[in-house]
């Protein structure tokens, strides 16, 4: 079993430990598909393979680490029960593993947790307690619960058994994929990429190959660039992100050491990048992927990656709230220049609204929402403000719609301008 890192000992788990864990994890985890993406291959300029952990039991890779950790508990520890804190995927992984192992599980979740994630955790048999509005508050509550009741705290990423369990995904990819050059993995606290990089790098070294490992973080919650620059795990102030599954303010201690040693590059993606990636996966691959799980695709679409050769992208989870999905699709359409919101000042006389709608229709675009008001700030008594939401086919079509309105004498401006 992995020990706490020191100046003389690497934190990287032994390949033999990861291989042993695979026999354990395979009791519950499915071997998820590895599929090609022609669309992303065209964008990247080399073959792209998608590892579909969004199709894993419980909807994410988290079951691997949770089950491996809990399977190693003694009978006495199992009798005390387990406790965890999570906004979603780790909660479901722990709840599912506890059910399979016959262990009582208590899960602390934030008050604003998405209803599907809350219900799924309860359906797996866990007792769910809601605390606070951020992940930090449930974490503190879970630690206090463990201290007062004796329940075993199951951490989401910073534990040797969890890292080794997540590493089984790397072994699976190695056996499924043809010779690949690069693997792209989401990073939150670092549990997944720590395990995957440990397995992949050691397998590659044994065969005399080199495989590049790239981690991806949401720009609004990117603790690793700062921590790596500081030389130690460093807590940052995060901003709101749709990728809540990787919104971690401070890297894990073990995870940081492994990532510093094995991960070749870390890139950041914006909220618009992530929304666009979810939309591409829906439309092109027919896959439902949560924001945190789509950041690898977002990195490809962002255009910031150079020549990578054959590339594997881990889609780490598919648990997305339908209400969030609705908002993400709208944002993804806007990021792809397929959703256009315009403000147009019109003279206050009959027929103007109908004429603007006619011009949009003549450009083969579709008006999906209209706001027509006489009471906007700065309007003259003889003016009205029209706000049009228009569905377009992409950047060129978007420009055509605007040009047609302006050619007809209307001052059409982007609503965010």
Residues acting as catalytic residues: 62, 316
Distance separating alpha carbons of residues 86 and 92, to the nearest angstrom: 9
Which segments of 263-341 does DSSP mark as H helices, in order? 271-284, 295-301, 322-335
Residues 47, 41 contacting (CB under 8 angstroms): yes
Give how far Cα 355 sits from Cα of 203, 351, 395, Å. Answer: 65, 6, 23
Q: How many CB atoms lie within 10 A of CB 220?
A: 17
Residues 170, 205 contacting (CB under 8 angstroms): no
Distance separating alpha carbons of residues 119 and 369, to the nearest angstrom: 34
How many contiguous H segments (helices) and E segments (strands) does the chain have?
A: 16, 14
What is the CA 352 to chain-centroid distance, rounded?
44
Distance separating alpha carbons of residues 279 and 208, to the nearest angstrom: 38
Residues 166, 195 contacting (CB under 8 angstroms): yes
Burial class (CB in 10 A: 0-12, 13-18, 19+), 79: exposed
Residues 316, 293 contacting (CB under 8 angstroms): yes
Distance separating alpha carbons of residues 375 and 383, to the nearest angstrom: 9
Looking up tokens 């693997």 gives 183
Q: How many CB atoms lie within 10 A of CB 357?
A: 15
Cβ density class 303-337: b for 16+ within 10 Å, e for less: eebeebebbbbbbbbbbbbeebbeebbebbbbbbb
Q: How many CB atoms lie within 10 A of CB 184?
A: 26
Which segments of 127-232 does DSSP mark as H helices, in order? 136-149, 160-176, 191-206, 223-230
Q: How, if at all, do strands 383-391 and 339-347 pair?
A: antiparallel
**Size (the chain), residues:** 417
């Amino acid at each position: 079993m992995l020990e706490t890192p020191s100046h003389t000992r690497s934190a990287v788990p032994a390949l033999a430990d990861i291989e042993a864990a695979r026999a354990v994890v395979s009791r519950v985890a499915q071997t998820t598909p590895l599929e090609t993406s022609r669309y992303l291959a065209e964008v990247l300029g080399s073959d792209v393979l998608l590892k579909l952990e969004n199709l894993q039991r419980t909807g994410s890779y988290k079951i691997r680490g949770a089950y491996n950790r809990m399977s190693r508990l003694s009978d006495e520890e199992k009798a005390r029960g387990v406790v965890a804190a999570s906004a979603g995927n780790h909660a479901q992984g722990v709840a599912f593993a506890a059910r399979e192992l016959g262990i009582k599980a208590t899960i602390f979740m934030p008050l604003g947790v998405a209803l599907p994630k809350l219900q799924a955790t309860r359906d797996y048999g866990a007792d769910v307690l809601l605390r606070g509005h951020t992940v930090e508050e449930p974490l503190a509550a879970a630690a206090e619960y463990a201290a007062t009741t004796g329940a075993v705290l199951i951490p989401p990423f910073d534990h040797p058994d969890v890292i080794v369990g997540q590493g089984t995904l790397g072994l699976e990819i190695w056996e499924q994929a043809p010779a690949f050059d690069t693997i792209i993995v989401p990073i939150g606290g670092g549990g997944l990429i720590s395990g995957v990089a440990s397995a992949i790098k050691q397998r590659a070294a044994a065969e005399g190959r080199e495989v590049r490992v790239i981690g991806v973080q949401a720009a609004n919650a990117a603790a690793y660039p700062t921590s790596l620059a500081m030389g130690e795990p460093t807590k940052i102030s995060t901003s709101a992100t749709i990728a809540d599954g990787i919104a971690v303010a401070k890297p894990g201690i073990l995870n940081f050491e492994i990532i510093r040693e094995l991960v070749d590059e870390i890139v950041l993606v914006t909220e618009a990048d992530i929304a666009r990636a979810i939309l591409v996966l829906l439309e092109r691959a027919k896959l439902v992927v949560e924001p945190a799980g789509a950041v690898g695709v977002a990195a490809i679409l962002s255009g910031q990656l150079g020549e990578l050769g054959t590339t594997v992208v881990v889609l780490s989870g598919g648990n997305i709230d339908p209400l969030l999905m609705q908002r993400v699709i709208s944002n993804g359409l806007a990021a792809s220049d397929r959703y256009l919101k315009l403000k147009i000042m019109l003279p206050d006389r009959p027929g103007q609204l109908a004429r603007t709608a006619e011009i949009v229709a003549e450009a083969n675009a579709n008006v999906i929402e209209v706001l027509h008001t006489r009471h906007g700030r700065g309007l003259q008594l003889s003016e009205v403000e029209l706000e049009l939401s228009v569905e377009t086919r992409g950047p060129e079509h978007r420009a055509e719609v605007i040009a047609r309105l302006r050619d007809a004498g209307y001052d059409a401006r982007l609503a965010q301008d």
